[in-house]
A and B are shown apart, each in its own frame.
Chain A
């Protein structure tokens, strides 16, 4: 197809031609085109269907404020719904599909909604789909979603990379129109680090769209010259295709750079988009202004657009939607559009100006004091019905109608820190208020400076003011400086189906209805009618809606106020917000020193805290995890097993008052712990609830190593620093986390000492007498490698934990396996670890669950009354110490075949089975290969004196009710003989 609507001139490269597809048809365009301009060039006016009524829609704008012409861009996994054709740069091979229509754009079955519009008014969903409530999810919502909608997702993973980046600058300039360019030049010449960000791919703002001259050159040429100069300056960073989406705290701005959106796919290794966090000492907002429409009956037909958009398409892209157009305006700027179009050879049917004193023209007819009463044309505009000043009607034939209701400064970012815009009577528009984000200045049309000269000058002034520059400023280039006044004209009297928000299908009638039904605040109007809640966030519709509200309420506009502007300024893809934090990188896992060795052994892994740990090690013939875990437990208890426990938090505590410090943070005493000894310690929160447990080993008078649970390592470290820095700042103690510095293995089982003797250097005696239970010390192994040895046991067996510098962790594990062959050594994972600790009755995360006290855990007597420690006072509260308090117990099924489930609750054997008679709950359960049945740990009211009692364990979730016997929590070796062997 030829480009039938292409004019002469424009900032496109006619030397090369790009082909693209829209709804299966082939078209051509040129570099410099957007998808919107290229479609217009090819005579396409109809580009989409509206959200609710499925009305045929075309372009309304030529920029990011576009509400209508949204498409699904690209295909396959890169398909991107709801993309504005007005900002999509054309590239060769681009494919796009229209949205929200079936079977085709020209014939859409759901267009029946338009006929039903009487019933589909504001608040329709709330009024209609009220009951039954269950119908919402399964009936109403799917139907509504299918009927009313936007584009659809590809349902495939996005193949592209999205990055995040940080930048810092003296001055951030937002928008590269005339004001932004002079602001940047001024700051750049002063030697400041400047970032100039503009959402467009071509800088220059409206200078590219008009025929204004600056000095003796066209606006577009002046832009080219200035941008070329800025590009050579090392202290300036030009960021085209970059939308500043929000003003955040402390001069931080979010910006989305569309690095590769303008090409078919990103170059290898390059991101599709980058989300920048820009920290700017000062900022100048030069975001320009957005033209506002006038509402009239049937003002949404394809071909009806903002007058400035017509002008942009003609001047910048050399296209027109039709050969014959009309302009509907209430201000002088509408006439500029008519003049520009006329010069380009487009026939002006008439300029319809609402003002009785409208300026005349010798080139075309001007209908002063007239207004558009209605339009016709099923899939695109054909006729405009005009009510002339004398009341007579006249029909104009034209394929496009440019509408100009004046300009709204783009104040959005001035309001992101709770600032409110101020109403300006001369411009009948909101201007930036007093309460700007700290460091922000505003210049150009965003500040109500609507003339070109005014914009150029205010940019310079704002930069000088922001940066505190002195001396005489250089002369500002010559440019037009016509005064601008705007008188309000929001809608044509008597119109009803006159669209305000074209994307969400909100009409003048809907606003009136909302008001009538009592939605008087702008925030209520917005939510009830959905005005301004679409992806364009009401950039072209909000003011019209609230002006009508104000009129109905008989209040001035500033009294009605605006809704709150919030980030982002334009939509941001979720992919850009996620950046690289996707899939396995969403939450990175850490690998233990023995990870690669475990992987070679075929271990199954599990995430624990931030770590990936071996869960069990299946061997030949094992088909069920229980087989592996039972074997690991039996072999460990029978001979020796090794488990990587590097992930337990390790905190080095040093200083002359290290023992005093530990006395503060552990509820039990540490002051008298001898050098070379280890002690179990329980930390409480200040409110008396157990926080974490572990061991503290005293390696020297002034040196302890504290261990924490894996999951709480970071939290406990933070807590210890709090206790030191905030509560006891003069204690001579230093803390540092050494979790990553040491690889640590539990070597457990009756043969553990024999195995260790093979690697511990002979200078160190680890016999039971020389190195008894709870001993610790610095040793060397394997001929001189420094190591730490702790005789502690989580399994209940004779056991040690041995630590070596992390880089030797892999080698040590392999060495233990080789040396342990004669003892039939077995590596065990977290499951076997868990089984053995339940068999031994040790508390873990399930028991230290944020609700339990030392008393509940059976360690009430550990809380020392001889000293003050964190939590000791509040743990004495009567409510935490009543006779019926929960106490840790063991549970075993009466029938060995029965299951025990964690989360199940305990009730008496013969009483009612309901929540009111609940007496406790099971926290951990496992199959014990040692006992040959399932066992569990539980908290039971007054459990300490109920051993031997038979109760019922009920778990409605797993449909389980079994008889259990309450026992001691220590199922294996309750006297601890094995530990001390």
Chain B
């Protein structure tokens, strides 16, 4: 597979490490989250046959975490974003 890195262009997938579902970015707010929220965050994942937003780490490259939208059936990659940008757009800061 080729991953079109937003900063570096198309890179071979062997340069990356796969982590999984990009919902890991949505860490519950420790001030307000319930035990159930934490449980869901730590353990529950969707397993779609189709588009899937997932985290890849460019370990053999620039060490960016990326959010890759990949179709799990065809492996087609429709978007690649810096996880940092995604996190900020979801309101994450410090």
Residues of chain A whose beta carbon lies under 8 Å from any beta carbon of chain B = 248-252, 279, 417-418, 438, 657, 660, 686-687, 714, 718, 721-722, 725-731, 868, 872-874, 877
Contacts and interface: CB of A to CB of B under 8 A. Distances in A.
Contacts of A718: 17, 57, 59
B92 interface: yes
B10 to A, nearest CB: 8
A726 B83 contact: yes
Nearest to B2: A250
Given A252-B2, A725-B84, 6 more contacts: A438-B76, A721-B63, A721-B65, A725-B83, A729-B84, A874-B42
Contacts of B75: 249-250
A730 B94 contact: yes
Nearest to A732: B94
Most buried by B among A250, A252, A725: A725
A825 B53 CA distance: 56
20 contacts: A249-B1, A249-B2, A249-B75, A418-B74, A687-B42, A718-B17, A718-B59, A721-B63, A721-B65, A725-B65, A725-B82, A726-B83, A726-B86, A726-B92, A727-B25, A728-B92, A729-B92, A731-B94, A873-B33, A873-B38
Given A417-B74, A686-B41, A729 B2 contact: no
Nearest to A727: B27
Contacts of B93: 728-730
Nearest to A686: B42
Contacts of B35: 877
Interface of B: 1-2, 17, 19, 24-25, 27-28, 30, 33, 35, 38-39, 41-43, 55, 57, 59, 63-65, 73-77, 82-84, 86-88, 92-94
B66 to A, nearest CB: 9
Shortest 9 CB-CB distances between A and B: which pairs? A868-B30, A730-B93, A249-B75, A250-B2, A725-B65, A249-B1, A729-B84, A725-B84, A729-B87
A729 B42 contact: no
B92 A727 contact: yes
The main secondary structure of chain B at its interface with chain A is: mixed
B25 A728 contact: no
A725 B19 contact: no
Contacts of A725: 64-65, 82-84, 87
A252 B1 contact: yes
Contact of A279 (B2, B55, B77, B83): B2
Contacts of A248: 1
Contacts of B43: 687
Given A687-B42, A721-B63, A874-B38, A728 B94 contact: yes
Contacts of A438: 76
B37 to A, nearest CB: 9
B71 to A, nearest CB: 10
B55 A726 contact: yes
Contacts of A721: 57, 63, 65
A249 B3 CA distance: 11
A722 B19 contact: yes
A938 to B, nearest CB: 28
B46 to A, nearest CB: 18
A564 to B, nearest CB: 14
Contacts of A417: 74
Nearest to A728: B94
Contacts of A731: 94
B14 to A, nearest CB: 9
Contacts of B82: 725
